[in-house]
Every structure is written in C-alpha cells, then in structure tokens.
Structure 1
Amino acid sequence: MKSNTDNNEIEIEKAKSHIVVEIIQYVPNAILSKTIIKKTTGNITVSSLDAGEELEEKHSPFDTYVQIIDGSAELIIDKKIFTLKLGEGIIIPAHARHKFNANEQFKMICTTIKSGYED
C-alpha cells in the first residue's frame, strides 16, 4: 500500500470556487489526502483510495463527519460494518475504533471538529 498525504498543510485557495471531487485524483495502488482547510478547532480533508487499499484501524478523540463524494466505501466503526455510497455520510463518534476498506475506488471528504468538547 502506497500512501501519499499532503503533510505540508497547504490549504486550497480561498474565495475561489472548486468542484470537490476534482480536488484529488486516483493513483493506482495508493491512498492520497489533501487538506482543504486546517485550523486548531478542526479540519477538512479530501481523500482518494484506489480499489484494494485500506486505511488502518485508528481512533480519534474528536467526532469526524465523512461523506462519500465518488464511488462507495466500506467503513467499520467499533466492529459494525457500513457500506457508504455516493452522497452518503456518517459521523464517526469520538474515540470509536474505525477503518476504511476500498472494495472499489472511492473519494471522501472528512470534517473533524476539535472544539465544543468542553461543554
């Protein structure tokens, strides 16, 4: 599995329209991620996974909203399997163990909220 994450934290250009599904392309045998916006209170990223790839199981201390913007994805949250199709979204609860499987290639947009937990 080849992974290429946009770690330089460069956001996409502000005040310029874009087509979200075109922000990132597919690369054979790879997982790509690009930062749309990154702030201390949360971030938005877009990712593409080629068929056969997977994102290893992990957990986050924050809620994350995921929406499929191309293809379909298998998401496992705390051992429960969800198949998300184009346009569908789900909230991954804070601290939940989760992983993604690309049974077919897909793109997703992820929004992580890092504030509001102090309430």
Structure 2
Amino acid sequence: MKNIEFEKSIILVLVDIIEYVPNSVVSKTIIRKTTGNIILVAIDRGEALTENTSPYDIFIQIIEGTAEVVIEDNSNTLQTGQGIVVPAHSTHMIKANERFKMISTIIKSGYEGILI
C-alpha cells in the first residue's frame, strides 16, 4: 500500500476532511508509519466496524456524533469530544447507532519486546 499522508504544517479541520457516504464506512489516513497510524473514519447510521482484535492499544476519539464502542462485550457510548483506549489483544467492535466521525490512533512502538 502506498504511504499517503496529508500535507504537513497546515491546519486540518478534521470533521470537514471526511464525508459520510450512505450505508458505508469511509476512512482516510492522516499519518501511516511503521510505528503507528492516525486514521479518520466516518460511519453511517446502522453500519459497524466488525469485531476485531489488535496487537496494539488503539485510541478512539469521537469528533462528531455518538458511537457505541464494545470492548470485551462491555458497551460504551461515546459522544463528541470523548475518547477511549481499546487495550491491546481485546476484542472490540464499533457501531453506529447514529452516524459519527472518529479518529483512530494506533501506536506500535513500545511493543517490540512483546511476543505476539
């Protein structure tokens, strides 16, 4: 995959960078490095990111709307301005009971000594 990033040293209005698409999940990469990624995601009502497990901690921050973040069968409702850390190796799913936009940040450094 080609390493595509946004231009550096310019102001980004995050909620304007990504648009909702009916019945879809849309994502745009802000930064993609071997040490981690920052991704913007817009999820339309009724859609979800399928249950997943990551070998890294993931920080989810809601920048518009309300999301349901399920971590190990524990449901959390996050609203604009709220965030949550999904622990490494935890099953998680993100649901759009209403449409929302979020930032997903994955930091891979610091896990070098952990066997996966």
Compute the TM-score of the two structures, normalised by the length of structure 2.
0.93
When residues 76 and 118 of structure 1 are mapped into structure 2, their CA distance, relative to the original with a 3 A threshold, is: same
Task: Output the CA distance in 2 between the equivalents of 1:77 and 1:37.
Answer: 25
Compute the TM-score of the two structures, normalised by the length of structure 1.
0.91
Task: Output the CA distance in 2 between the equivalents of 1:102 and 1:79.
Answer: 16
1:51-90 paired onto structure 2 within 5 Å:
51-90=45-84
Task: Output the CA distance in 1 between the equivalents of 2:38 and 2:69.
Answer: 18
Provide structure 1 residue ranges, at least 5 long, that are not aligned to the other structure. 1-6
Equivalent residue letter for 2:54: S
Aligned residue number for residue 92 of structure 1: 86
Q: Alpha carbon RMSD of aligned pairs, Å? A: 1.2
Does residue 17 in structure 1 map to residue 11 in structure 2?
yes
Equivalent residue letter for 2:57: D
Deviation sequence 1:22-56 (CA, Å, 0-9, x none) = 11000111100000001111010000000010111
Equivalent residue letter for 2:97: N
Equivalent residue letter for 1:29: N
Aligned residue number for residue 35 of structure 1: 29
Q: Where do 4+ consecutive residues of structure 1 move more than 3 Å?
A: none
Provide structure 2 residue ranges, at least 5 long, that are not aligned to the other structure. none
State the percentage of identical aligned residues: 53
Task: Output the CA distance in 2 between the equivalents of 1:8 and 1:24.
Answer: 19
